Amino acid sequence: DAGVIQSPRHEVTEMGQEVTLRCKPISGHNSLFWYRQTMMRGLELLIYFNNNVPIDDSGMPEDRFSAKMPNASFSTLKIQPSEPRDSAVYFCASRPGEAEKLFFGSGTQLSVL
């Protein structure tokens, strides 16, 4: 099993540009999470999907952030327009069921200049 796959691994963009982060969860997992990690705030949950349906997006910082899960094997997190304060490592994680461990991807290091 390849694990959770995220792309790109690194993204450098200029303020105001649109950024799209991609995630392929582990096959058979029915829950998908997007987290953001910074030194100041640690790991923050942005949004959670269950069976491809967004269940809780209360962690999404503002309307500039949006996430989709069109099918069980793909999710995107989009930032439009991006700002320097969005610079962070964005992790995608999946799990097979409730009360189970999370499997994290390697993350996307985002730098907004």
Partner 1 sequence: SQKIEQNSEALNIQEGKTATLTCNYTNYSPAYLQWYRQDPGRGPVFLLLIRENEKEKRKERLKVTFDTTLKQSLFHITASQPADSATYLCALAPDDYKLSFGAGTTVTVRA
Q: Which stretch binds partner 1 (CB under 8 A): 15-23, 42-50, 60-68, 75-83?
A: 42-50
Question: Is the CB of 42 or the CB of 70 nearer to partner 1?
Answer: 42
- Taking the complex as a whole, how short is the minimal distance between the CB of residue 67 and partner 1, in angstroms? 15
Angstrom distance (rounded) from CA 53 to CA 72: 10
- Residue 19 · residue 7 · CB < 8 Å: no
User: Which of 68, 69, 76 has the alpha carbon at shortest distance from 30?
Assistant: 69
**Residue of 42, 62, 63, 70 that binds partner 1 (CB under 8 A):** 42
Question: Is the CB of 65 or the CB of 90 nearer to partner 1?
Answer: 90
Q: Give the contacts of 76 (CB within 8 A, at least 6 positions apart).
A: 20, 21, 22, 23, 67, 68
- Taking the complex as a whole, how short is the minimal distance between the CB of residue 91 and partner 1, in angstroms? 5
User: Which of 52, 54, 44, 55 has the alpha carbon at shortest distance from 91?
Assistant: 44
Under the binding rule (CB under 8 A), the answer on residue 113 touching partner 1 is no
**Residue of 8, 43, 96, 113 that binds partner 1 (CB under 8 A):** 43
